[in-house]
């Protein structure tokens, strides 16, 4: 049974802006999928819809179906979705900037017993020694990479079954991006997580997911395994701007060109 099943989902903002125009996708239990697409394609909208956070953005599900972990979740409020075991790391590294690293972790661990909280926190600090060194620092003063690690730690403390991550590599160096992907992959395997990874950095995402969806203007325009995506000339050209050269900037330039013509 699929952990996440989205069928023909339509989402509007402020009652008029149709951001998703009938999106269908699924992720099986323990599966990792990537969601690619240019700016404005609707990736983050899908993340918000999955996690029940659309009302926070004055958006709502107009039509279609979301099933999370066997439960229909179209209009479930965020707290109910969280109870189903879905945790989303939203776009823009939303740590609590005025809370220290430890306090951020504590806030995320609100449901755990002190015992369990300590176990997981220890595990996080073992995985990310850098966070331990900076545990009394306010989140706002961490580097982008550290903030992303902190968010992963916070997500772990919610003990999720399904992890949705929106553009974790944004603004990170290639080396750090690789590091974030490695950690995501490890976590996913260690915990048996279902992973939905929204990325602009297709190459990094391909390395750790089984299947790939490409979105454009509120629709899914490509769906296939990571291998198929890599073999698909369109997808590859689109994302890597040609055979190998690639890189984030070039792909972006290419995409912008394609958007305007």
Partner 1 sequence: MDFALVIQTALNGLANGALYAVIAAGFVLVYRATSVVNFAIAEFMLIGAYLTYTMSLFFPLLLAILLALPLAFLFGVLVERGFVRPLLGRNVVAVIMATIGLASTLDGTALILWGPDQKAMGAADVAQLPKEVPNLAFSLGGVFLSSKAVWSLLLALPLALLLVGGLKYSRYGVLLRAVSESETAALAMGINAPRVVAIAWGISAVMATVGGAFLAGAAGGGGPGHHLVLLGLIVFPVAILGGFDSVPGAVVAGLLIGLIEAFSQLYLESLLPGITQAIPFLIVLLVLLFRPYGLLGQHRIERV
Ligand X SMILES: Nc1ncnc2c1ncn2[C@@H]1O[C@H](COP(=O)(O)OP(=O)(O)OP(=O)(O)O)[C@@H](O)[C@H]1O
| CB neighbour list of residue 101: distance below 8 Å, 6 or more residues apart | 131, 134, 135, 136, 137, 139, 142, 150
Q: Per-residue string for binding with ligand X, 4-43, x by CB under 6 A?
A: ---------xx--x-x-----------------x-xxxxx
Query: DSSP 3-state assignment of 157?
Result: helix
Query: Residue 39 binds which one of partner 1, Mg ion, ligand X, none, with CB within 5 to 8 A depending on kind?
Result: ligand X
**Minimum CB–partner distance for residue 146 and partner 1 (Å):** 12
90 belongs to the binding site for Mg ion (CB under 5 A): no
Q: Per-residue string for binding with ligand X, 213-232, x by CB under 6 A?
A: --------------------
169 belongs to the binding site for Mg ion (CB under 5 A): no
Site for ligand X (CB under 6 A): which residue of 23, 31, 32, 45? 45
Name the one range near Mg ion by CB under 5 A: 15-23, 59-67, 84-92, 200-208. 84-92
**Minimum CB–partner distance for residue 44 and ligand X (Å):** 3
Shortest Cβ contact with ligand X: which residue?
Answer: 44
Cα–Cα distance for residue pair 94/89, rounded to 1 Å: 8
Roughly how many angstroms between the first and final C-alpha of the chain, as a whole number? Answer: 41
User: Comparing C-alpha atoms, which of 37, 127, 49, 56 is closest to residue 94?
Assistant: 56
Site for Mg ion (CB under 5 A): which residue of 13, 26, 62, 91? 91
Please count the other Cβ atoms lying within 10 Å of the Cβ belonging to residue 161.
17
57 belongs to the binding site for ligand X (CB under 6 A): yes
What are the CA-CA distances from residue 169 to residues 15, 36, 38, 184 (Å)? 31, 13, 15, 11
């Amino acid at each position: 049974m699929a952990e996440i099943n989205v069928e023909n989902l339509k989402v509007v903002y402020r009652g008029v802006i149709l951001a998703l125009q009938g999106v269908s996708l699924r992720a099986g239990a323990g599966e990792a999928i990537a969601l690619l697409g240019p700016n404005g394609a609707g990736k983050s909208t899908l993340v918000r819809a999955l996690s029940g956070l659309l009302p926070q953005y004055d958006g709502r599900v107009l039509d279609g179906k979301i099933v999370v972990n066997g439960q229909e979740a179209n209009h479930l409020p965020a707290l109910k979705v969280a109870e189903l075991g879905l945790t989303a790391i939203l776009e823009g590294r939303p740590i609590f900037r005025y809370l220290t690293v430890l306090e951020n972790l504590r806030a995320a661990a609100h449901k755990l017993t002190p015992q369990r909280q300590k176990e997981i926190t220890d595990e996080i600090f073992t995985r990310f020694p850098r966070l331990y060194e900076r545990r009394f620092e306010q989140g706002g003063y961490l580097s982008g990479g550290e903030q992303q690690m902190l968010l992963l730690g916070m997500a772990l403390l919610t003990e999720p079954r399904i992890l949705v991550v929106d553009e974790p590599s944004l603004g990170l160096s290639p080396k750090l991006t690789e590091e974030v992907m490695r950690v995501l992959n490890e976590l996913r395997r260690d915990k048996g997580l279902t992973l939905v990874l929204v990325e602009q950095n297709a190459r990094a995402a391909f390395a750790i997911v089984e299947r790939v969806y490409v979105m454009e203007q509120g629709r899914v325009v490509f769906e296939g395994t990571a291998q198929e995506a890599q073999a698909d000339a369109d997808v590859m050209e689109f994302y890597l701007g040609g055979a190998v050269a690639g890189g984030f900037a070039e792909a972006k330039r290419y995409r912008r060109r394609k958007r305007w013509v």
